Structure 1
Amino acid sequence: MSAFDLLVLFAYLGIMLFMGIRAMKTVKTEEDFILGGRSVSSFFVLLSIFASWTGLSGLFGTPQYVNVYGTAGGWWWFTFPLGVFIMGVTMAKLLRRRMYMTLPDIVDHNHTSKGVRIASSVVTVWNYLAWTAGQVAGIMLVISTFTNLEPVVAVIITYLVIITFTMLGGFRAVVHTDAFQAILFLVIIGVVIPVLIISRYELGDIWRETSKIDGFYSVFGNVPKGTMITWWLLAPAGFIDTMAFQRIFAAKDEKTAKKSIIKAFGMMIVFGLILIFLGLASKVILPADIDPANAMLLLVQKILPKGLLGLLIAALVGVAMSTASTTLLVCSATIEQDIFSVLCPGKTKSKLKMHRILVLIVGLLALTLALKVPSVTSILMYGYSVYVPGLLLPVIAGTFEWKIPDRYMLGTIICGAVSAMILILLGEPFPASLGGLLLSAVPFAIGLLRGRAEGMKRENA
């Protein structure tokens, strides 16, 4: 890596810090810090949603799985945004109208149950702590692949920049940097790299070589059934994605909230097709004995000319920064609003100061986790495998105001999350997320029936 490329990377980090300092001047209240004052325009909501969804797990994982399984590997990318799209079409306007601030606001829509609020908060924080750690692990992979820098030291410096601009500027800093980062990696990864591949290699050759592989272009290909089930369970994870909820809550109005989700989904479809193309190209351009997990990195390393490497690293780091800054904010807001304020009401004189302290604490925890478990996709799977069974049904019930007694709502969260965690610890003899979801449906169904029965009694009284 040349000195110029390093200069580009450091300049990029400097821009991120500058944007955080600039955004800090507009942060006066807790709502400013968490949701940008609920006045974020369609342009920034759209690019922020897209940037936050495009984590390194999707960016690296999609070409990896396409390289291994064929075009069916693209389901790794598409299932999550599909869930968010369905949520946006069915729920976005309703959620924006209610002026919620966090996901536990949805689950505990009556604002009466400390147990339900705290349980939903713990599951949410664990999931997005895992998301944050996954991005740190991805940054380390990028740095170790493309530079001669000490990976641990470099990732610590980079991650401290993420923590700092998030602490300073809150959500305003996040959406502004998201927009900048989205444009950068859309240009480099979505345009420059595909154009270079097309200019250097015959598309016909790529097609002929890959079509010789049995099932390479089938809908579900050679993906093992258990793996495909796990991928499809990312759709309900998208349906209750707190990062998307955060943008819905922050949008300037209901119309902006819904339209931004729909437009971001369209962008995800197009970008996903580009990633599938990169996976197909890697199968032909790269040696057969490579580690598929490194397909994306090895391909761009081979394709990009010198001088653009610094921009590429900045783009890849930007992908991670977009997701990590968002998940940091989600965790800190949930801890302050739904755990600390519930357990210690009235004890915090400056909530804004507390949010910033929590961003720092959560950030350091995520960094520690990433250094202990350095795998982007595995960290992510640990998070969402507990998140979906714990909160999918409670979020649906809260959104549509189904009457479920608190003890059954709490039982649904605990049963789903704990059973999924047990299956993970046992090595997943049955898909953890699916198993936890099925078991969580038992107390949920009982609670739904009890709630309706109690409602009928009140009406007849």
Structure 2
Amino acid sequence: MPTVVYGIIAYILLQLLIGVYFSRRIVSENDYLLAGRSLGPGMASLSVFATWFGAETCIGAAGSVYENGLSGATIDPFGYTVCLVLMGMVFAVQLWRRNLTTLADLFAQRYSARVQNLAVLLIAPTSVMWAAAQIRAFGQVLSAVSGFEVELAIAAAALVVIVYTMYGGLMADVVTDAVQGVALIIGLLLLLFFVLEAGGGFDASMAHIHPERLSLFGAESGGLIAKIEQWAIPICGSVLSQELVARVLASRSPEVARRACIQGGLLYLAVGLIPVFIGLLGFQLVPDLAQPEQILPRLAREHLNTFLYIIFAGALISAILSTVDSALLAASALVSHNLIVPAVRTISDQGKVRVARIVVMACGIIAFVLALHADRVYTLVEEASAFGSAGIFIVVVFGLFTRFGGSMSAAVTLLTGMSTWIVGHHVLDLGAPYLLSLATALVSYVLAGYLETRRPKSWLMVKRKDFNF
């Protein structure tokens, strides 16, 4: 096992070196956060795929399918595939043409600076929670291959990803995404081949799977409303995430942005079905596993030799690193670009980059604390997708495609969507809190927008001055 650990350490050090190398090319905030807006279709597509293909797909989805059968894959990969394709078909071109640096810039352009600040306070925590999910998964992998306690492994994982992300910026992230994406595909295919061989081949393996576990809409999924809720969270909750928006804005043209999201989404589905299938097979090969999220590392350790296991572990770590650095960069971009830099007013380009790196470190520490206290990777992923995103989704849709509603409508909708989710999920424990938050956010925007259009302009000016929206 020490050989495996040394191989993984060497692989991680390579990622760190790539980050340091590209840090020397970073001159401006635009270079650090958007890679100079220079991504072509190939790199952008691979980056979309690798960024989204993280812990929740490799570790979380496989573990969920191990427990619940195919219905455990509703969110990932199926829901997130729809999310990526929807971004390409509907939002990518419109966002790119507005010459934004972050998604929050749209709120300042369309509504007001105060609405932008409120949006940052809702969007940035989701990226930190997303990063926490990846750090926890990274710790699970390190624990499985090294024998360390999970808490110690999570601490080591957090340190690595914070340092790696602080240096590299988006360009280093994209370059490593390309390498990591290829390594990930190879590693998963290797594991699938040997797992199928252990099960006696494809036909024999499929024959051992109980038919009930092959239902995408199993009994545990609940009624129709619960099923719609399961699909709405990954689609509406993540389609406008800063991680994905950053790839759109970093593309060299609107057409590249559109193609990258669609192609990356389809690649995501194809590769995402591998851990889903392995999770189905693993239930027969390793019954009664105490920690279902370790099914992939467990099968790899049992069925791969040392060399192939290093390849697989490196691929799994690739998936996690390519997502966690994007999440930390997303949170840093929102906080530094939209909150801190405007408050400082006079700051050099190098100063902006320095601020962004400091915020990456702060967000990484917060993500580490969240990772330690979360029960499951899927818990963090669901919370990241749902927290505050209902209001964000409604406001961005109206802001991009209509002129209806103003700053008051946007502010009321953001607050209503967030509060409804928190009360519905954490206080009342409702069955479909996210759908309720979407509905209340939509109604809030329409009603507030109607009031804005009905009131005299003098009244609106007074109200906007009073609330500074």
Q: TM-score, normalised on structure 2?
A: 0.90
In the alignment, structure 1 segments of 5+ residues that lack a partner are none
Alignment partner, residue 382 of structure 1: 383
Post-superposition shift, 1:456?
12
Alignment partner, residue 430 of structure 1: 431
Paired with 1:447 and 1:91, the residues of 2 have a C-alpha distance of 24
The alpha-carbon distance between structure 1 residues 216 and 107, as it changes in their structure 2 partners (threshold 3 A), is same
Q: Secondary structure at the match of 1:423?
A: helix
Alignment partner, residue 209 of structure 2: 210
Higher deviation after alignment, 71-80 or 44-53: 71-80
The alpha-carbon distance between structure 1 residues 229 and 300, as it changes in their structure 2 partners (threshold 3 A), is farther
Alignment partner, residue 404 of structure 2: 403
CA RMSD of aligned residues (A): 2.3
Q: Secondary structure at the match of 1:216?
A: helix
Post-superposition shift, 1:377?
1.3
- Residues 20, 166 of structure 1: 8 Å contact kept: yes
The alpha-carbon distance between structure 1 residues 376 and 266, as it changes in their structure 2 partners (threshold 3 A), is same
What letter corresponds to residue 318 of structure 1 in structure 2?
A: S
Alignment partner, residue 364 of structure 2: 363
What letter corresponds to residue 197 of structure 1 in structure 2?
A: V
Q: Secondary structure at the match of 1:129?
A: helix
What letter corresponds to residue 158 of structure 2 in structure 1?
A: Y
- Residues 386, 418 of structure 1: 8 Å contact kept: no
Alignment partner, residue 244 of structure 2: 244
Q: TM-score, normalised on structure 1?
A: 0.91
Paired with 1:250 and 1:217, the residues of 2 have a C-alpha distance of 39
- Residues 124, 331 of structure 2: 8 Å contact kept: yes
What letter corresponds to residue 205 of structure 1 in structure 2?
A: A
- Residues 237, 390 of structure 2: 8 Å contact kept: no
Alignment partner, residue 31 of structure 1: 30
Post-superposition shift, 1:156?
2.9
Alignment partner, residue 12 of structure 2: 13
The alpha-carbon distance between structure 1 residues 25 and 455, as it changes in their structure 2 partners (threshold 3 A), is farther
The alpha-carbon distance between structure 1 residues 135 and 410, as it changes in their structure 2 partners (threshold 3 A), is same
Higher deviation after alignment, 27-36 or 448-457: 448-457
Alignment partner, residue 442 of structure 2: 441
Q: Secondary structure at the match of 1:210?
A: coil
- Residues 230, 433 of structure 1: 8 Å contact kept: yes
What letter corresponds to residue 44 of structure 2 in structure 1?
A: V
Alignment partner, residue 96 of structure 2: 96
- Count residues with an aligned counterpart: 451
Post-superposition shift, 1:454?
7.4
Alignment partner, residue 73 of structure 1: 72
The alpha-carbon distance between structure 1 residues 261 and 448, as it changes in their structure 2 partners (threshold 3 A), is same
Post-superposition shift, 1:359?
1.0
The alpha-carbon distance between structure 1 residues 289 and 26, as it changes in their structure 2 partners (threshold 3 A), is closer
- Residues 195, 299 of structure 2: 8 Å contact kept: no
Deviation track 1:102-143 (CA, whole Å, cap 9, x = no partner) reads 111223333x52321111101111111100111111111112
- Residues 58, 76 of structure 1: 8 Å contact kept: no
- Residues 109, 398 of structure 1: 8 Å contact kept: no
Deviation track 1:34-88 (CA, whole Å, cap 9, x = no partner) reads 0000012222211111111112122223223333333333222111220221121
Deviation track 1:138-180 (CA, whole Å, cap 9, x = no partner) reads 1111122221235444433333232223222211111112122
Alignment partner, residue 144 of structure 2: 145
Aligned residue runs from structure 1 range 176-195, under 5 A? 176-189=175-188, 191-195=189-193
Higher deviation after alignment, 373-382 or 284-293: 284-293
Alignment partner, residue 276 of structure 2: 276
What letter corresponds to residue 419 of structure 1 in structure 2?
A: T
Deviation track 1:317-366 (CA, whole Å, cap 9, x = no partner) reads 22111111001111111001222234x25154421111111111111111
Paired with 1:427 and 1:56, the residues of 2 have a C-alpha distance of 29
Higher deviation after alignment, 311-320 or 446-455: 446-455
- Residues 89, 262 of structure 1: 8 Å contact kept: yes
What letter corresponds to residue 191 of structure 2 in structure 1?
A: I
Q: Secondary structure at the match of 2:219?
A: coil
Q: Does 1:196 align with 2:189?
A: no
Paired with 2:299 and 2:293, the residues of 1 have a C-alpha distance of 11
- Residues 84, 240 of structure 1: 8 Å contact kept: no
Alignment partner, residue 123 of structure 1: 122
Higher deviation after alignment, 446-455 or 180-189: 446-455
- Residues 139, 150 of structure 2: 8 Å contact kept: yes
Paired with 1:69 and 1:241, the residues of 2 have a C-alpha distance of 28
Paired with 1:452 and 1:264, the residues of 2 have a C-alpha distance of 41
Q: Secondary structure at the match of 2:258?
A: helix
Aligned residue runs from structure 1 range 300-339, under 5 A? 300-339=300-339
Alignment partner, residue 346 of structure 1: 345
Paired with 1:289 and 1:141, the residues of 2 have a C-alpha distance of 14
- Residues 5, 145 of structure 2: 8 Å contact kept: no
What letter corresponds to residue 231 of structure 2 in structure 1?
A: W
Q: Tell me the percent identity.
A: 22
What letter corresponds to residue 278 of structure 1 in structure 2?
A: I
Q: Secondary structure at the match of 2:131?
A: helix
Higher deviation after alignment, 137-146 or 229-238: 229-238
Higher deviation after alignment, 290-299 or 252-261: 290-299
Q: 2:220 aligns with which of 216, 219, 223?
A: 223
The alpha-carbon distance between structure 1 residues 72 and 455, as it changes in their structure 2 partners (threshold 3 A), is farther
Paired with 1:385 and 1:285, the residues of 2 have a C-alpha distance of 34
What letter corresponds to residue 125 of structure 2 in structure 1?
A: W
Paired with 1:421 and 1:219, the residues of 2 have a C-alpha distance of 28
Higher deviation after alignment, 118-127 or 223-232: 223-232
Post-superposition shift, 1:306?
2.8
